[in-house]
Amino acid sequence: MSIPIIVQYKVNAPVEKVWKALTDKEEMKSWYFNITDFELEVGKQFNFYEPGEAHKYHHQGEILEIVPNRKLKHTWSYPDFTEEKTVVTWELLQKEDETVITLIHENIDNFKDLGENFSRKSFAEGWSGIINQSLKPYLEK
């Protein structure tokens, strides 16, 4: 069993605002990825690429669990490279005026044969950057 990547940050924003940023495809464009086929419904698949015209790294996910303002769980995969999937869980916890965001990325070892861009280190740094340098400033503006 592989050890999950866990990234946690506090943001100075109410949980409802954080939830909307995580689940509204128009808001996601501002801090995350442009996911045009995202629908907040269990069983729905969504697809996106790294930013830029190259359409590098086709990402695909399927929503597994939704607990409004608390948890969003979905698969994370690269169908152009492997049939293997991982699972990403966003957990939110309101603490007074702040929200604690915990991201858990499980089964990351499923991608170990895909190279350095798919390594545990690469994902840990990527998630930290996405949350701390993109989502947090977006929510606290």
Average pLDDT per block of 10 residues along the chain, 141 residues long: 92 98 97 96 96 81 98 97 97 96 97 93 96 97 90
For residue 54, the model assigns a pLDDT of 67
* Biggest alpha carbon–alpha carbon distance for the chain: 43
Task: Supply the pLDDT for residue 50.
Answer: 82
**Nearest one of 81, 38, 31 to 61, comparing CA atoms:** 38
Cα(139)–Cα(127) distance, integer angstroms: 16
- In contact, 58 and 45? CB cutoff 8 Å: no
- Phi, psi angles (nearest 5°) of residue 130: -60, -45
**What's the pLDDT score for residue 19?**
98
pLDDT for 79 equals: 97
What is the rounded distance in angstroms from the CA atom of residue 114 to the CA atom of residue 118? 6
Q: What 3-state class would DSSP assign to 110?
A: helix
Q: In sequence order, what are the beta bridge partners of 74?
A: 63, 88
pLDDT of residue 51: 78
2 vs 26: CA distance, rounded Å: 34
Instruction: Specify which residues 9 forms β-bridges with.
Output: 101
